[in-house]
């Protein structure tokens, strides 16, 4: 199977409408959609009088010049304005663990009328089975299973306290320490207000590669901070673990844990997706197996559910139109490349000749040795595509043959 990634390039769009009628039509549609969104905002204000959403949950957008990437920080206070706990919960597609179907955060948010939602666990991309330790509402759903690179577990206690556990920890130990929820993302990044030793996560091959990322963090007062960043585009390169640690330490968090990222990253606040998808030309939100979310009881759930869905549809259309406009001007390179294999190296580098980081790239195996080794993932920088195999291809001369394509 080919390896494909295509992110949505975020930000403002400027086009010469005098020379492109298609662009003119899309801008008119954007303006009309914006009017609809303003009308929905007014309707939202009226319905929010019922306090269906937690308005205590806030988010901010920032630009990190070091990594050249936009990111969002969403703050969930430990308690609401009345002193009641704002409970962090876990959810699954159709409320069934490991159903094999998956769901998008947007779809789940519409169904549950969430104030906040984000993707959570890493998972098998074929079966959608969550990896590692899985506990829900005090019930062990899965002991440490299919856990490559010995990823750490995230434990969540009844008062929203967050704790990271090494992969040798048992579910009995986590339950005994008061964890009512547990999932497996990647690794802790900050504990007790200090960056963890890099040896904890450096075994993960992409920890030092810029990517879209998602993380959950906690302040000393137990407020939760969700971190979400863009990535894999010319405008937003993505971040490494070091980038996230730098930003979150500056925020003042005492704990941070890296959740599943890349194309799985999805963060919605009151029905609006904050970050841009990277699948399907920036228009496809990925199916994932579980979520972390916050929900507030409603006295009029059906009206709010309908409104929540309407806002989500408008928000998605705006993102899709932005991608269409940006896609009007693109350049691409493609070709076939052949390598020798020494039976040891598990990666190969393909010069793409674009001089910038491609917003879309695809690599496919064309030889038996390449297909047998299997493409694990592909990264891109301003010069090369780097192909990582599941295992080193067998020794041979000109036995690694790959077709590739990269676009801006």
Task: Work out the average pLDDT over 394-402.
Answer: 93
Better-scored residue on pLDDT, 37 or 59: 59
Residues 83 and 181 in one domain: yes
Residues 213 and 341 in one domain: no
- pTM confidence score: 0.68
Residues 87 and 136 in one domain: yes
- Tokens matching residue 274: 């904050």
In a domain, 240, yes or no: yes
10-14, 147-151, 166-170, 237-241: range with lowest mean pLDDT: 10-14
Residues 147 and 71 in one domain: yes
Domain-ending residue, one of 297, 316, 340:
297
In a domain, 198, yes or no: yes
Residues 273 and 350 in one domain: no
Q: Which contacts qualify for 391-396: CB closer than 8 Å, 24 or more apart?
A: 391/346, 392/341, 392/342, 392/343, 392/344, 392/345, 392/346, 393/341, 393/343, 393/369, 394/341, 394/343, 394/369, 395/341, 395/342, 395/343, 396/340, 396/341, 396/369
Better-scored residue on pLDDT, 33 or 50: 33
What is the predicted pLDDT for the residue at 256? Answer: 98
Q: What are the residues facing 406 on neighbouring strands?
A: 333, 361
Tell me if residue 244 falls in helix, strand or coil: helix
Task: Work out the average pLDDT over 150-163.
Answer: 97
pLDDT at 342 over 70: yes
pLDDT at 7 over 50: no
User: Residue 149: CA atoms inside 13 Å, Cβ hemisphere, count?
Assistant: 18
205 Rama class: left (phi>0) / alpha (psi -120 to 50) / beta: alpha
The range of the structural domain enclosing residue 347 comes to 330-407
C-beta of residue 282 within 8 angstroms of C-beta of residue 319: yes
Residues 119 and 242 in one domain: yes
In a domain, 17, yes or no: no
User: Residue 16: CA atoms inside 13 Å, Cβ hemisphere, count?
Assistant: 3
CATH code where residue 377 lies: 2.60.40
Residues 6+ apart with CB under 8 A from 263: 5, 212, 277, 278, 279, 286
* Cβ atoms < 10 Å from Cβ of 110: 22
What is the predicted pLDDT for the residue at 171? Answer: 98
Write the burial class of residue 193 (CB in 10 Å: 0-12 exposed, 13-18 middle, 19+ buried).
Answer: exposed
pLDDT at 158 over 90: yes
In a domain, 159, yes or no: yes
- Tokens matching residue 405: 């394509």
Residues 6+ apart with CB under 8 A from 395: 341, 342, 343
In a domain, 73, yes or no: yes
What is the predicted pLDDT for the residue at 371? Answer: 79
Q: Percentage helix, strand, coil, to 5, in the chain?
A: 25, 35, 40
The rounded percent of the chain whose pLDDT value lies above 70 is 79
Task: Work out the average pLDDT over 142-164.
Answer: 95
User: Residue 357: CA atoms inside 13 Å, Cβ hemisphere, count?
Assistant: 20
What is the predicted pLDDT for the residue at 31? Answer: 60
pLDDT at 231 over 70: yes
In a domain, 7, yes or no: no
pLDDT at 93 over 90: yes
Tens digits of residue pLDDT in 303-330: 555 555 556 555 665 666 555 555 544 5
Residues 146 and 248 in one domain: yes
What is the predicted pLDDT for the residue at 131? Answer: 96
C-beta of residue 343 within 8 angstroms of C-beta of residue 393: yes
Residues 126 and 259 in one domain: yes
Tens digits of residue pLDDT in 352-388: 988 778 777 888 889 988 878 888 888 888 899 999 9
Cα distances (angstroms) measured from residue 173 to each of 19, 187, 237, 272? 66, 19, 39, 38
Residues 196 and 264 in one domain: yes
In a domain, 194, yes or no: yes
* Cβ atoms < 10 Å from Cβ of 22: 12
Q: How many domains does the chain have?
A: 2
- Tokens matching residue 226: 């969700």
Better-scored residue on pLDDT, 302 or 216: 216
Better-scored residue on pLDDT, 271 or 331: 271
Residues 273 and 355 in one domain: no
Q: Measure CA 114 to chain center.
A: 18
Residues 290 and 336 in one domain: no
Residues 230 and 353 in one domain: no
In a domain, 26, yes or no: no
Q: What does the radius of gyration of the chain's CA atoms come to, in whole angstroms?
A: 22
Tell me if residue 9 falls in helix, strand or coil: coil
């Amino acid at each position: 199977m080919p390896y494909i990634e295509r992110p949505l390039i975020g930000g403002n769009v400027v086009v010469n409408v005098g020379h492109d009628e298609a662009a003119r039509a899309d801008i008119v549609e954007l303006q009309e959609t914006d009017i609809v969104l303003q009308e929905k905002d007014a309707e939202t204000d009226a319905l929010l009088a019922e306090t269906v959403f937690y308005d205590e949950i806030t988010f901010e957008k920032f630009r990190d010049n070091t990594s050249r990437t936009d990111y969002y920080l969403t703050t969930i206070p430990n308690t609401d304005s009345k002193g009641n706990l704002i409970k962090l919960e876990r959810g699954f597609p159709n409320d069934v663990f490991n159903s094999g179907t998956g769901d998008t955060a947007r779809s789940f948010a519409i169904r549950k009328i969430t104030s906040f939602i984000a993707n959570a666990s890493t998972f098998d991309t074929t079966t959608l089975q969550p990896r590692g330790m899985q506990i829900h509402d005090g019930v062990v759903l899965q002991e440490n299973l299919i856990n490559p690179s010995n990823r750490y577990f995230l434990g969540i206690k009844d008062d929203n306290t967050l704790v990271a556990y090494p992969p040798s920890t048992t579910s009995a130990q986590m339950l005994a320490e008061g964890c009512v929820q547990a999932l497996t993302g990647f690794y802790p990044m900050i504990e007790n207000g200090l960056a963890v030793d890099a040896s904890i996560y450096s075994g993960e091959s992409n920890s030092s590669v810029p990517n879209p990322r998602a993380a959950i963090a906690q302040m000393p007062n137990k407020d939760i901070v969700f971190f979400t960043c863009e990535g894999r585009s010319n405008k937003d390169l993505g971040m490494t673990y070091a980038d996230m640690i730098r930003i979150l330490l500056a925020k003042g968090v005492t704990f941070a844990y890296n959740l599943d990222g890349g194309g799985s990253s999805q963060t919605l606040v009151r029905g609006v997706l904050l970050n841009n998808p990277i699948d399907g030309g920036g228009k496809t939100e990925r199916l994932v197996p579980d979520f972390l979310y916050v929900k507030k009881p409603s006295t009029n759930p059906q009206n709010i559910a309908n409104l929540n869905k309407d806002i989500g549809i408008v928000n998605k259309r705006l993102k899709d139109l932005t991608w269409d406009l940006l896609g009007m001007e693109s350049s691409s390179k493609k070709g076939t490349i052949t390598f020798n294999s020494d039976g040891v190296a598990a990666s190969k580098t393909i010069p793409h000749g674009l001089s910038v980081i491609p917003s879309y790239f695809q690599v496919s195996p064309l030889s038996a040795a390449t297909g047998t080794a299997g493409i694990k993932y592909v990264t891109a920088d301003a010069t090369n595509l780097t192909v990582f195999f599941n295992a080193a291809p067998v020794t041979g001369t000109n036995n690694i043959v790959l077709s590739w394509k990269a676009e801006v």
